[in-house]
Amino acid sequence: MPQNQLSSIFLQYLAQHSSLDQATNGETPATDRLPSLNDVSKELGVSVALLREQVEVAKAIGLVEVRPRTGIRRLPYSFLPAVRQSLSYAIAVDQSHFMEFSDLRNHIEAAYWNEATQLLTSEDHQRLMSLVNRAWEKLNGQPIQIPHEEHRQLHLRIYTRLKNPFVLGLLEAYWEAYEAVGLNLYADYRYLQQVWAYHQEMVEAICTGDFDRGYRALLQHKDLIFHRPDLHAVK
């Protein structure tokens, strides 16, 4: 989008300075301190009050952070904060939107499976196997525990090497929404066993380089959520 079509003067300013840094340094710094609002106000010829309102918008969507002593810093770009805001609102209005977003997430994982899995390292393989083993320990332990954190980490780890902030932001937002609607709190034991049997097959296939087998397991397992006994609570 051209900078003159951005929704605020401050976002135009932020994008312009980001572009200049990339041209000079090759990449945006991890954090980048900005001038004070008084200085930006003088440079742009707009009021501090207007800038303060627009900074709050930029803060809400994760473009900057504001702290009392350090001032305003530009953050590395992430799609997650903007998706989080919109998705949280959508689910608050109608919880069935979660299932629609879940369907989108399934298509994203399927579409990027081959690219993502071929980028994984031996360290990633070990981490995935460790997550599977830890999940089975929880499911077979006394008392039984829901391996939700392992579930989340496993799926995100598979796609972690992708250099696409939009894919990663959407996948991360899914797990936040999953927790927001309470699906991490309870699940039928048989359902969990089925889920982790598929996860184990997916990971074993990844580790042996049989990505097609892993893809088939992914497709077979992705619709299980629609058959959860407790899913009526979010419809």
Domain co-membership, 56 together with 99: no
* pLDDT attached to residue 235: 47
* 152: nearest Cα among 135, 140, 137, 133: 135
**Cα distance between residue 126 and residue 92, in whole Å:** 38
Q: Is the pLDDT of residue 24 over 60?
A: no
Here the CATH number for the domain that contains residue 184 is 1.20.120.530
Higher pLDDT, 17 or 234: 17
pLDDT tens track for 122-159:
999 999 999 999 999 999 999 999 999 999 999 999 99
Q: Do 214 and 113 meet the contact criterion of CB atoms below 8 Å apart?
A: yes
Domain co-membership, 63 together with 86: no
Give the SS3 label for residue 51. Answer: helix
User: pLDDT band at residue 3, thresholds of 50, 70 and 90?
Assistant: very low
Domain co-membership, 115 together with 203: yes
Of the residues 22, 55, 74, the one at which a domain ends: 74
Domain co-membership, 63 together with 123: no
- pTM for the full model? 0.85
Other CB atoms within a 10 A radius of the CB of residue 142 amount to: 5
Any alpha helices (H) in 26-147, and if so which ranges? 37-44, 48-60, 80-93, 96-119, 122-140
Instruction: Kindly state the average pLDDT of the residues 52-62.
Output: 94
**Cα distance between residue 201 and residue 218, in whole Å:** 9
Domain co-membership, 9 together with 123: no
Cα distances (Å, whole numbers) of residue 113 to 78, 110, 203: 21, 5, 12
Helices (H) and strands (E) in the chain, counts: 10, 3
Of the residues 55, 74, 93, the one at which a domain ends: 74
